[in-house]
Structure 1
Amino acid sequence: MIDIRRFETLGGANHGWLDANFHFSFAEYFDQRRMHWGRLRVWNDDIIGPRSGFPPHPHSDMEIITYVRKGAITHKDSLGNEGRTEAGDVQVMSAGTGITHAEYNLEDEETHSFQLWILPDSKGHAPSWGTRQFPRDDRAGRFVVLASGREGDGDALRIHADARVLGANVRAGETIEYDLGGRKAYLVPASGQIEIEGEVINARDGVAIADLATLQIVAVQDSELVMVDTA
């Protein structure tokens, strides 16, 4: 089963400095059919204006993953962590028992990002933050695990959830496969155009996937893919 959520059907809010698009119910946008997908609760497609961003605000008991598509994001939090994550790279904040953080675009250009919230398997974890570079060449023609709560996923950033966040870069005409084994997935092309089960999916469209043993993706155009595999 695949459910395509076209970009133009997403919820949204434009605050001038922030143009946000919501794949799931978020803030003042509510759609009972788009509450979550497995443990994936939020997928926001954000465009943050130059020299702006989110001032300090709190979170708890949520795994928050930011995938930067263009530009960079600068993080500061109440644990004393500071860091800058550039396009193609990922940061993870496990909010756990509570953390206050700020996310700024300190660049002279827009920052484009996907922010994902995944429900943890249990509450009360110690809060933490981390970031990692993921060279795009390593993702050529295959999925690479960027963040994971599963054992054996090597250098992936750790989250406290039975889920994986994956990235792939696929050239036009190539086909890649992923073993879902009946689990759920939510996939968004950051750029390009792909085909799944005969359906064409454009950049920034979302695809909710279930009841497939093997996911097969054909690149119609050169495409950058981000996907969550979730229980």
Structure 2
Amino acid sequence: MIEHRTLAEIGGVDIGWLKAKHHFAIGQYGNPTHKAVGRLYVWNDDEIAPRAGFSLHPHADVEIITYVREGVITHEDDLGNKGRTKAGDVQVMSAGTGIRHSERNDEETPTRIFQIWIKPNQVGNPPRWSTQPFPRSDRAGRFVPLASGYGAPDALPIRADAEVFGAVLAAGGSIKLELKVGHDAYLVPALGSVLVNGVRVEAREGVALRDEPSLEVEALCDAEMVLVVAANSPTRRQQSGL
């Protein structure tokens, strides 16, 4: 089954310093018909004004992957981590037993990010944070794992039965990815227009694929995409130590 979520259907808020689109319903936010896709349950499309951001706040038992589309995001947490993640790059926070962090745009231009939340398959582990560059040229014409719960080489590790991929596709190009049995997928073009299994998807719109054996993307113009493939049934391991 393929579910196309147009930009007009995706719920959002504008509070001045933050303009957000919520691809999934969570609490009072988002379109209530937009349910989780497997272990994936939050995908926020945020625009953060210059010199603004989220002040120190807590998380626990969630894997948070941030893909920076434009600008820079600065992270700081109560573990002593502090770092800047630039456009095209990725940061991962495994909240574990609990972490307090802030996310700010300390620059002079707006920052635009995708923030993705995935349910973990482990509990009782210490929190951790990391960031890594992913040059767009390395993703040309192929899906590259950016964050992986399956030990993909060069990807940031997450404690989840899921993987986050990035791809860049030139106009007229196509790419195909086989989906693991028991996994569903959600794809959002950061830039450009694409066909996903024959369904046209514009920039910042979403497409969910449930019980599909594969996905095939054709670029109608130069495109940049982020994809999550996540298990569609819960798996949880206690005290794994990873």
Q: Normalising by the residue count of structure 1, what TM-score does the alignment of the two structures yield? A: 0.97
* Structure 2, unaligned runs of 5 or more: 232-242
Worse overlay, 49-58 or 192-201: 192-201
Could you tell me which residue of structure 1 aligns to residue 160 of structure 2? Answer: 161
Could you tell me which residue of structure 2 aligns to residue 226 of structure 1? Answer: 226
- Alpha-carbon distance between aligned partners in 1 of 2:230 and 2:67, rounded to the nearest angstrom: 17
Whether 1:216 aligns to 2:204 is no
State the Cα deviation string for residues 121-152 of structure 1 (Å, max 9, x = none). 1322210000000011000000000001103x
- The alpha carbon displacement at 1:214 in A equals 2.0
- The alpha carbon displacement at 1:29 in A equals 1.9
Whether 1:172 aligns to 2:171 is yes
- Alpha-carbon distance between aligned partners in 1 of 2:198 and 2:27, rounded to the nearest angstrom: 34
Could you tell me which residue of structure 2 aligns to residue 60 of structure 1? Answer: 60
Change (3 A) 1:67 1:30: closer
5 Å-filtered alignment, 1:138-217, equals: 138-151=138-151, 153-182=152-181, 183-217=183-217
Contact 1:167/1:227 (CA < 8 Å) preserved in 2? yes
- The alpha carbon displacement at 1:31 in A equals 4.2
- Alpha-carbon distance between aligned partners in 2 of 1:30 and 1:11, rounded to the nearest angstrom: 4
- Alpha-carbon distance between aligned partners in 1 of 2:146 and 2:159, rounded to the nearest angstrom: 14
- Alpha-carbon distance between aligned partners in 2 of 1:163 and 1:30, rounded to the nearest angstrom: 22
Secondary structure class of the residue paired with 1:137: helix
Secondary structure class of the residue paired with 1:215: strand
5 Å-filtered alignment, 1:11-22, equals: 11-22=11-22
- The alpha carbon displacement at 1:99 in A equals 0.2
- Alpha-carbon distance between aligned partners in 1 of 2:58 and 2:184, rounded to the nearest angstrom: 29
- Alpha-carbon distance between aligned partners in 1 of 2:31 and 2:122, rounded to the nearest angstrom: 26
* Structure 1, unaligned runs of 5 or more: none
Which residue type is aligned with residue 62 of structure 2?
Answer: M
- The alpha carbon displacement at 1:212 in A equals 1.9
5 Å-filtered alignment, 1:108-119, equals: 108-119=108-119
Contact 1:173/1:220 (CA < 8 Å) preserved in 2? yes
Q: Normalising by the residue count of structure 2, what TM-score does the alignment of the two structures yield? A: 0.93
Could you tell me which residue of structure 2 aligns to residue 100 of structure 1? Answer: 100
Whether 1:9 aligns to 2:9 is yes
- The alpha carbon displacement at 1:35 in A equals 3.1
- The alpha carbon displacement at 1:30 in A equals 5.3
The percent of aligned pairs where both chains have the same amino acid is 53
- Alpha-carbon distance between aligned partners in 1 of 2:185 and 2:27, rounded to the nearest angstrom: 23
Could you tell me which residue of structure 2 aligns to residue 47 of structure 1? Answer: 47
Which residue type is aligned with residue 176 of structure 1?
Answer: I
Question: How many residues end up aligned between the 2 structures?
Answer: 230
